[in-house]
């Protein structure tokens, strides 16, 4: 691209006062490129082996990605961040399809096309998102999350029968996780926090957690002290609304001596003081019906979303005897119901042909 001395000298002539010289220079370069009539081409002789393309909207609560193989990719976890814990792809039985193309027709429109070929079969798969406002006011919850809402709906497959709330996890990236639980003013409650770590292995990085529950003494907790990955565990607190605001404050904070400043929390239960709490029953999910407040931490964004989100993967095949297969690889606890896969009672994956 040629440079034009008149354009580069332009900052000296700016008199309006609100444009910085830097802003003016950037704008001028863009105009020059647009007027040149040239089509820029970026060559990538050494592409990465793996990549993701975004198909969500700028202000979207759901950030869906598509991997280099055309699969919808979800549930990136708090370690390792780069692996999707849920992948949805369409392939064909008995035919090895190889990707021949992937790209956006227009970089400003998040509709991604991936093409495949193999054994006389071709396939074109188009991924895009659609959203629709939620008209109904969501029912009030007896809890709320403060600060960041980061989390993953599919991080843990517990190593034993456990409450489904252990799967999804709230996390704080170098900051506290904070929840407030509704209680009668100045009431006391037993608060149980649930943890399971799917990332670390025995002897690995130390990631302790400082647990702060209003009205109870602070405790330090390390789920890997047991030496078991994916083990659901629970810690009970004799808590109370000491400041009389009608909320019990819960925080999982970063200890000073930690080797990993990212903290996590899988579930919360509160019980009336007269309820005898057996932590093994809580872990199994057998005490959840007796809880006054039950929080499946890690699903916070979906709970407060103002739009429904639909991701569409439209797959077309051309060739003899094509038998498409929808393949779902996930840590979510999906169940088949009425021809759909449902996640905790809600439709999650539908297939139409
Ligand atoms: Ca959870
Ligand atoms: Ca309080």
Residues 157, 280 within the same domain: yes
Q: From the CA of 220, how far away is ligand 1's center (Å)?
A: 20
Full residue range of the structural domain in which residue 272 is found: 143-303
Nearest ligand to residue 213 Cα? 2
Q: Which two tokens stand for residue 68?
A: 């280099």
- Binning pLDDT at 50, 70 and 90, where does residue 37 land? low
* Whole-structure pTM value: 0.84
Clarify whether residues 149 and 294 are in a common domain: yes
Examine the domain organization and report whether 151 and 58 are in the same domain: no
User: Half-sphere exposure of residue 92, counting CA atoms within 13 Å on the CB side?
Assistant: 24
Is 212 a domain residue?
yes
Task: Judge whether 102 and 114 are in contact, CB under 8 Å.
Answer: yes
Residue 279 CA to residue 273 CA, distance in Å, equals 15
Q: Which of the four pLDDT bands, split at 50, 70 and 90, describes residue 6?
A: very low
Ligand 1 centre to CA of 271 (Å) is 18
| 130-146 confidence digits (pLDDT tens) | 998 888 887 888 999 99
User: In angstroms, what is the span from residue 197 Cα to ligand 1's centroid?
Assistant: 12
Say how many Å lie between the CA of residue 239 and the centre of ligand 2: 10
Question: SS3 letters for 288-319?
Answer: HHHCCEEECCCCHHHHHCCEEEEEEEEEEEEC
Q: Residue 95 half-sphere exposure, CB side, CA atoms within 13 Å? A: 24
Q: Which ligand is closest to the CA of 243, given by its number?
A: 2
Q: What ligand has the least distance to the C-alpha of 152?
A: 1
User: How many A from CA of 76 to the centre of ligand 1?
Assistant: 15
Residue 158 sits in a domain of what CATH number?
A: 2.60.120
CA 248 / ligand 2 centre spacing (Å): 5
Answer yes or no: do 206 and 332 share one domain. Answer: no
Residue 13 located in a structural domain: no
Question: In this structure, how many other beta carbons lie within 10 angstroms of the beta carbon of residue 281?
Answer: 15
Judge whether 310 lies within some domain: yes
Give residue-wise pLDDT tens across range 102-139: 999 998 999 999 999 999 999 999 999 999 888 888 78
Question: What pairs with residue 340 in β-bridges?
Answer: 337
* Number of compact structural domains in the chain: 2
Residue 143 gets the label, from left (phi > 0), alpha (psi -120 to 50) or beta, of beta
The answer to whether residue 43 is domain-embedded is no
Q: Could you tell me the distance, in angstroms and rounded to a whole number, from the CA of residue 266 to the centre of ligand 1?
A: 4
Regarding whether 183 and 63 lie in a shared domain, the answer is no
Please check whether residue 16 lies inside any domain of the structure: no
CA distance 26 to 139: 48
For the chain, how many residues are written? 353
């Amino acid at each position: 691209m040629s440079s034009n001395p008149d354009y580069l000298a332009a900052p000296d002539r700016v008199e309006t006062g609100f444009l910085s010289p830097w802003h003016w220079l950037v704008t001028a370069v863009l105009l020059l490129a647009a007027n040149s009539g040239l089509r820029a081409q970026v060559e990538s002789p050494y592409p990465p082996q793996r990549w993701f393309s975004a198909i969500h909207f700028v202000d979207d609560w759901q950030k869906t990605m598509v991997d280099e193989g055309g699969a919808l990719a979800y549930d990136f976890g708090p370690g390792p961040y780069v692996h999707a814990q849920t992948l949805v792809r369409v392939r064909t039985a008995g035919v090895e399809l190889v990707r021949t193309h992937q790209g956006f027709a227009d970089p400003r429109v998040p509709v991604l096309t991936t093409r495949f070929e193999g054994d006389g079969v071709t396939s074109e798969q188009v991924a895009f998102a659609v959203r629709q406002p939620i008209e109904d006011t969501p029912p009030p919850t007896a809890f709320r999350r403060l600060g960041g809402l980061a989390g993953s709906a599919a991080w843990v497959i517990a190593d034993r029968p456990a409450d489904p709330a252990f799967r999804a996890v709230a996390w704080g990236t170098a900051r506290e996780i904070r929840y407030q639980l509704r209680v009668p003013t100045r009431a006391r409650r037993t608060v149980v926090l649930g943890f399971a770590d799917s990332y670390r292995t025995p002897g690995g990085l130390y990631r302790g957690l400082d647990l702060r529950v209003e009205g109870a003494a602070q405790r330090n907790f390390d789920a890997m002290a047991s030496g078991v990955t994916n083990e659901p565990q629970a810690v009970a607190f004799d808590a109370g609304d000491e400041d009389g605001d009608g909320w019990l404050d819960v925080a999982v904070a970063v200890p000073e001596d930690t080797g990993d400043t990212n903290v996590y929390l899988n579930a919360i239960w509160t019980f009336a003081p007269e309820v005898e709490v057996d932590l093994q029953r809580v872990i199994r999910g057998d005490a959840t019906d007796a809880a006054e407040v039950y929080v499946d931490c890690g699903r916070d964004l979906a709970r407060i979303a103002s739009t429904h989100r639909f991701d569409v993967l439209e797959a077309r095949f051309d060739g003899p005897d094509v038998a498409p297969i929808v393949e779902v690889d996930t840590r979510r606890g999906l169940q088949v119901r009425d021809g759909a896969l449902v996640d905790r009672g809600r439709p999650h994956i539908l297939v139409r042909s």
